[in-house]
Amino acid sequence: KGAIVVLPPKRADTLRPRMKNIVVLISGRGSNMEAIVRRCASEGWPARVAAVISNRADAAGLVFAREQGIATAIVDHRAFASREAFDDALARAIDAFAPNVVALAGFMRILTAAFVQRFDGRLVNIHPSLLPLFPGLHTHARAIEAGCKVAGATVHFVTSDLDHGPIIAQAIVPVLSADTEAALAARVLEQEHVLYPLAIRWLVEGALERRDGRVLHVGNESQLLGSR
């Protein structure tokens, strides 16, 4: 009920041993999803984007995914009477692709605690602020209004607390005196397209360790990206 799945033709790369599966959830254009797909292919990760799933049939990112031969699924939240019922159907759609990583990339639904627990340690998100600052919406306007001198983006493991969870990596950009919300958002998004694929590559390569509520890179690579 409420789920439509489009499977691509079988490809040789789906048969590689030890390949990890990444499932990406989107609600719109999916620019971060595109960045993940492109970087995964160009850098030869030991993984593949196995599926892109959306709660909206008109999500533009689904078109890109299909063009890349990636399976897509639609689980329309409007088809379910409760958030719990939607999350259960969404989880079943995700599980069909045996995911090692589930990446939220502009997925505009608040997930239940049971869903988050089901994918604990595999569920990641990117948020357009330097968490714990400015969780929620309108992050760039709030950063400008607060007089922040830097803004940025954060990749984190998802917990039941909205826009909280152990931080995997962050990227910073300066807040310029003439910045508008749109101008700052555009510069932050450029960094997101670098930061999110990097963090997911670390995850699929087993390069991250969670220790005492913190996420550390086992090879001591910097988990902070900067931009002028």
pLDDT at 181 over 60: yes
CB 47 within 8 A of CB 204: yes
Amino acid letter, 98: A
The tokens describing 67, both together, are 């063009």
140 is catalytic: no
Which of the four pLDDT bands, split at 50, 70 and 90, describes residue 226? Answer: confident
Cis bond before residue 46 (omega within 30° of 0): no
User: For residues 159 and 149, what is the distance between their CA atoms, to the nearest angstrom?
Assistant: 28
Of residues 77, 127, 193, 217, which has the active-site annotation? Answer: 127
For 17-74, the pLDDT digits (tens) are 579 999 999 999 999 999 999 999 999 999 999 999 999 999 999 999 999 999 999 9
Three-class SS state of 58: coil
pLDDT at 9 over 60: no
User: For residues 204 and 18, what is the distance between their CA atoms, to the nearest angstrom?
Assistant: 11
For 137-165, the pLDDT digits (tens) are 999 999 999 999 999 999 999 999 999 99
The confidence score (pLDDT) of residue 14 equals 45
Q: How many CA atoms lie within 13 A of 59 on its CB side?
A: 30
User: For residues 104 and 31, what is the distance between their CA atoms, to the nearest angstrom?
Assistant: 12
User: For residues 48 and 128, what is the distance between their CA atoms, to the nearest angstrom?
Assistant: 25
Dihedral of the CA atoms 83, 88, 25, 108 (nearest 10)?
0
The confidence score (pLDDT) of residue 18 equals 76
Relative to beta strand 167-174, strand 224-225 is parallel
Q: How many CA atoms lie within 13 A of 190 on its CB side?
A: 12
